Amino acid sequence: MKRQNVRKALLVIFILSLPITMFYLSPVLTLQGAARGIVTSSLLFVGLSALLAFFAGRIFCGWICPGGAVQEALFSANDRRLKGGRYDLIKYGIAALWLAALVILFIRAGGILSVDPLFGIPGGLSLGTPLSYMMFYIAMGGMVFLSLALGRRPFCRYGCLLAPFMIAGKTAAGKLRLPHLHLEAESEKCIDCRLCTKNCPMSLDVNRMVRDENMASPECISCGACVDVCPKKVLSFAFFSRKKTEEKPGENPN
Ligand code: SF4
Ligand code: SF4
């Protein structure tokens, strides 16, 4: 479980870093920048996160994202497993609307006029003005409310508009059969104890994925919890593919 301790320690550090980092990930700031023809750090981050996912899946969600960390910290209050299926598609609708608004705002501003990573982040600190504190409390309050009401990482599963871009990156790597970080399983060793399913923070039915011999899920955040908890060492991470896998958004076992 050493790896999970490291992961949880990193998540705590990234929660504590929120007052500095929050607006570097803000989709609202991205739109405000687009309205003035400015590429913000948050827009650059969307591209970088998709690129990272191309090589390493949604490792950002599992190991770095402060929003994911806040939700995981609330597992002790409510760790109910979430329903997937068509609910997973909500985030694609949100991302499509955001992308359409972004394009329209850039067109109305006359295109991309400049790049300013510190746009809307005076002095490089996210929290500094009363408005920024208000946005911080609204965002955190929303995450806490959703987690307490629904269970495991509901914002990651249903509402995060970054997730579809990362899923696009990891799906492209899978489709092109290029080397990328992914899960593999030796299903014949599985004893169906379901510990992997019980411990998956994204509510995936990992045991079923093992039995179906398809470990590719767009919702997997490469956290490694299933790998570390399996008593029979059925699961492992790999970079080069040994087995054929197929990702289908909105069709996740859970
Ligand atoms: S399937 Fe495994 S690696 Fe993926 S999110 Fe679930 S526990 Fe983490
Ligand atoms: S934890 Fe391992 S042995 Fe248990 S169900 Fe999952 S893959 Fe099978």
215 alpha carbon – ligand 2 mean position (Å): 13
Atom of ligand 2 at shortest distance to CA of 206? 6
Expressed in angstroms, the distance from the first to the final Cα of the chain is: 24
25 and 54 share one domain: yes
Average model confidence (pLDDT) for the chain? 91
pTM of the model: 0.89
Is it the case that residue 7 has pLDDT exceeding 60? yes
- Residue 214 sits in a domain of what CATH number? 3.30.70.20
pLDDT of residue 253: 55
pLDDT of residue 129: 77
Is 15 part of a structural domain of the chain?
yes
Name the burial class of residue 1, with classes exposed (0-12), middle (13-18) and buried (19+) by CB atoms within 10 angstroms of its CB: exposed
Is 63 part of a structural domain of the chain?
yes
Domain span at 43: 2-169
Is 228 part of a structural domain of the chain?
yes
Name the burial class of residue 240, with classes exposed (0-12), middle (13-18) and buried (19+) by CB atoms within 10 angstroms of its CB: exposed
149 and 52 share one domain: yes
CA dist 185 and 217 (Å) reads 13
Render pLDDT for 197-237 as a digit per residue (tens, 0 to 9): 999 999 999 999 999 999 999 999 999 999 999 999 999 99
191 alpha carbon – ligand 2 mean position (Å): 6
Is 68 part of a structural domain of the chain?
yes
CA dist 157 and 208 (Å) reads 19
212 and 136 share one domain: no
Is it the case that residue 48 has pLDDT exceeding 90? yes
31 alpha carbon – ligand 1 mean position (Å): 32
CA dist 182 and 53 (Å) reads 10
37 and 154 share one domain: yes
39 and 157 share one domain: yes
Is it the case that residue 251 has pLDDT exceeding 60? no
CA dist 77 and 71 (Å) reads 10
Considering every ligand atom, which ligand is closest to the CA of 233? 2
Name the residue of 4, 194, 197, 205 whose CB sits within 8 Å of the most ligand 2 atoms, as the mutation to test its pocket: 194
Render pLDDT for 106-165 as a digit per residue (tens, 0 to 9): 999 999 999 999 998 888 887 777 777 888 888 889 999 999 999 999 999 999 999 999
70 and 132 share one domain: yes
Atom of ligand 1 at shortest distance to CA of 199? 7
Choose among 50, 101, 81: nearest CA to 201. Answer: 81
Whose alpha carbon is nearest atom 8 of ligand 2? 190
pLDDT band for 246, please (50, 70, 90 cuts): very low
Atom of ligand 2 at shortest distance to CA of 235? 7
- Number of compact structural domains in the chain: 2
- 149, 169, 189 — which closes off a domain? 169
The response to whether residue 16 sits with its C-beta less than 6 Å from ligand 2 reads no
Q: From residue 122, how far is each of 27, 119, 136 by CA, in Å?
A: 17, 7, 15
CA dist 126 and 14 (Å) reads 14
**What secondary structure, in 3-state letters, does the chain show?**
CHHHHHHHHHHHHHHHCHHHHHHHHCHHHHHHHHCCCEEEHHHHHHHHHHHHHHHHCCHHHHHCCHHHHHHHHHHHCCCCCCCCHHHHHHHHHHHHHHHHHHHHHHHHCCCCCEEECCCCCHHHCCCCCHHHHHHHHHHHHHHHHHHHHHCCCHHHHHHCCCHHHHHHHHHHHHHCCCCCCEEEECHHHCCCCCHHHHHCCCCCCHHHHHHHCCCCCCCCCCCCHHHHHCCCCCEEEECCCCCCCCCCCCCCCC
Is it the case that residue 186 has pLDDT exceeding 50? yes
The response to whether residue 227 sits with its C-beta less than 6 Å from ligand 2 reads no
The response to whether residue 11 sits with its C-beta less than 6 Å from ligand 2 reads no
Whose alpha carbon is nearest atom 4 of ligand 1? 220
127 and 205 share one domain: no
The response to whether residue 195 sits with its C-beta less than 6 Å from ligand 2 reads yes
Tell me what the mean pLDDT of segment 53-60 comes to.
96
149 and 206 share one domain: no
180 and 130 share one domain: no
148 alpha carbon – ligand 2 mean position (Å): 28
78 and 200 share one domain: no
pLDDT band for 83, please (50, 70, 90 cuts): confident
Considering every ligand atom, which ligand is closest to the CA of 4? 1
Residue keyed to tokens 């045991």: 207
155 and 36 share one domain: yes
